[in-house]
Structure 1
Amino acid sequence: MASNPRNGRPYRRLTSYQRSLGLPCWLCGHDIDYRIVGEEAKRSSWAFTLDHAQPLSLGGDLHDRANARSAHRRCNSARGNRVTARAPQRASRRW
């Protein structure tokens, strides 16, 4: 039985590198709260996750730094395996 490649050292190293950059979410542009870690990060929709610009299911490389992006868990999940992000939602009225 093959192990999960996301549990390996190269993936953890890439995740740590991307987290250390402290970038905003590449999908929505808002800041990510990098202080959310551990079990709390698994439940928080605003926590950091490593996203891949070219989805893995469409041939993206799991360990390529050029393919790695910082994203909120919520934004990453909403994007799914699409290559492009959804257009930002428009407000119901002008603010």
Structure 2
Amino acid sequence: MSGNPRNGRPYRRLCAWLRAQHLPCWWCGHNIGYNLDARHPLSFTLDHEVPLSRGGDLLDPANARPAHRRCNSSRGNRTAPRRPQSGRPARKW
């Protein structure tokens, strides 16, 4: 395959399928601005649950997740989603 596989028709089709579902960000749980400019930090991007650098499949719908551009960028290639902290930090040092 020559060129960037993310410019191909199968990848664009996967993005369109995921975008049409209007799901919240799988990383932070907040709504995604599906009508925002693609460069906006809260716009939609396709994220891969198993990062491509760790053997994830580019075109597998089971590996595709909706995410904010900011969440997708800050996640990097980590596999486990971050957990929100519960309660206040303890003062016992």
* 2:74 paired residue among 51, 75, 78: 78
Structure-1 separation of matches of 2:29 and 2:87: 16
Match of 1:26 in 2: 26
Please identify runs of 4+ aligned residues in structure 1 that moved more than 4 A. 89-92
Q: CA deviation at 1:84?
A: 1.0
Secondary structure of 1:41 counterpart: coil
Larger helix proportion of the pair: 1
* 2:56 paired residue among 60, 75, 87: 60
* 1:41 paired residue among 38, 41, 44: 38
Gaps of 5+ in 2: 89-93
Gaps of 5+ in 1: none
Larger Rg belongs to? 2
TM-score with structure 2 setting the length: 0.87
1:61 touches 1:67 (CA, 8 Å); kept in 2?
yes
Sequence identity (%)? 61
What is the total number of aligned residue pairs between the two structures? 89
